[in-house]
Amino acid sequence: MLDAGQLADWERDGFLVVPGAAETDACRAVIERAEQIVAGFDPTTVSVFSTHEQTRTSDEYFLSSGGEVRCFFEEEAFDAEGDLIVPKERAVNKIGHAQHDLDPVYDAFSRTETLAGIADDLGIAEPLLLQSMHIFKQPRIGGEVTCHQDATFLWTEPDSVVGLWFALEDATLENGCLWAEPGGHRGPVRQRFVRAGATDADGTRFEELDPTPLPEPGEGASLVPLEVEAGTLVVLHGRLPHWSGPNRSARSRHAYSVHVIDGRAEYPAANWLQRPADLPLRGF
């Protein structure tokens, strides 16, 4: 699937941009499916309307989402009183985290020969599709995703996670495209995001592993923008620092990502994301 030049780019940069990896129609179908899911979403089921409350009490909603299809809000979708200031279809930040196993449209988009071939080329011998996210990056209020490494959130021993990120719409500087640090995957994992206790109610915490700061976005920074057209796949190494800015433009920036781990690696019980026993992880 990947040629020698692409594999060399991957080794050097820790990411790979593959234009045309998904058909425009397939991208459109996923966006339409997301719109249907949001249309069927009752915001009151989250039972939290202030952003403060959401941060504090959404732990269980968030922590049990590894085996569900759930909607999460944009922080800026609320006013100071905690009321939604935009219609719910403009308020959702993302859908996660198991639609690739629970929804036929996402399943079909996530399990393709192209992706299976890429995972194989990257040396993932026993690929397991761990997590999926549909990210809306809504017009005007689409939130920043601070600089991070995916291995922080999807830790395996040894580390194995690879992100398969699709632009479902054109991603530009204006609507909050990805930025990545070329070669940054050779640095250490800085933090681990773990469960603070045995139950969802115990919440989460970050465990510091290495004090090396992550790159800051801005002038002279080591992060480079990845402006890509709809249908482009960006493959991200699990240790690669990456970031995306807020969207202040009038256009959304839909993206879909699925994260793959190697079944040969250990998946710790302390990881925030856990699957219920009746929904085991599957490959391509």
Tell me the closest approach of the beta carbon of residue 242 to Fe ion, in angstroms.
6
C-alpha–C-alpha distance, residues 31 and 252, integer Å? 11
Stretch that binds Fe ion, among 44-52, 79-87, 150-158, 191-199 (CB under 5 A): 150-158
Which among 232, 262, 256 is positioned nearest to 100, based on CA atoms?
256
Tell me the closest approach of the beta carbon of residue 147 to Fe ion, in angstroms.
9
Stretch that binds Fe ion, among 31-39, 149-157, 203-211, 217-225 (CB under 5 A): 149-157
Q: Which residue, 41 or 131, has its beta carbon nearer to Fe ion? A: 131
Tell me the closest approach of the beta carbon of residue 232 to Fe ion, in angstroms.
16
Where do the DSSP E strands lie in the chain?
15-18, 69-73, 92-97, 127-135, 145-148, 162-167, 178-180, 191-195, 204-208, 224-226, 233-237, 242-244, 255-262
Stretch that binds Fe ion, among 51-59, 91-99, 142-150, 207-215 (CB under 5 A): 142-150
The H-assigned helical ranges of the chain are 4-13, 24-39, 51-63, 99-102, 104-110, 113-121, 150-153
Stretch that binds Fe ion, among 67-75, 119-127, 143-151, 200-208 (CB under 5 A): 143-151
- Greatest Cα pair distance, the chain, in angstroms, is 55
- Backbone torsions φ then ψ of 240, nearest 5 degrees: -75, 120
Tell me the closest approach of the beta carbon of residue 205 to Fe ion, in angstroms.
19
Task: Show the tokens assigned to 225.
Answer: 């923008």
Tell me the closest approach of the beta carbon of residue 108 to Fe ion, in angstroms.
23
Q: What angle do CA 217, 222, 228 make, to 5 degrees?
A: 75
Q: Which residue, 13 or 150, has its beta carbon nearer to Fe ion? A: 150
C-alpha–C-alpha distance, residues 50 and 29, integer Å? 32
Q: Which residue, 90 or 110, has its beta carbon nearer to Fe ion? A: 110
Considering only residues 15 through 34, tell me which ones interact with Fe ion, judged by CB under 5 A: none
C-alpha–C-alpha distance, residues 158 and 161, integer Å? 9
Q: Which residue, 150 or 181, has its beta carbon nearer to Fe ion? A: 150
C-alpha–C-alpha distance, residues 22 and 234, integer Å? 11
Report how many helices (DSSP H) and strands (DSSP E) the chain contains, helices first.
7, 13
Q: Which residue, 131 or 138, has its beta carbon nearer to Fe ion? A: 131
Tell me the closest approach of the beta carbon of residue 178 to Fe ion, in angstroms.
9
Residue 13 is a binding residue for Fe ion (CB under 5 A): no
Tell me the closest approach of the beta carbon of residue 163 to Fe ion, in angstroms.
6
Q: Which residue, 15 or 78, has its beta carbon nearer to Fe ion? A: 15
Stretch that binds Fe ion, among 30-38, 45-53, 145-153, 271-279 (CB under 5 A): 145-153
Instruction: Rule CB under 5 A: choose which of 13, 59, 101, 150 binds Fe ion.
Output: 150
Q: Which residue, 53 or 144, has its beta carbon nearer to Fe ion? A: 144
Establish how many alpha carbons lie within 13 A of residue 242's alpha carbon, considering only the half-sphere containing its beta carbon: 28
Binding site for Fe ion (CB under 5 A): 150
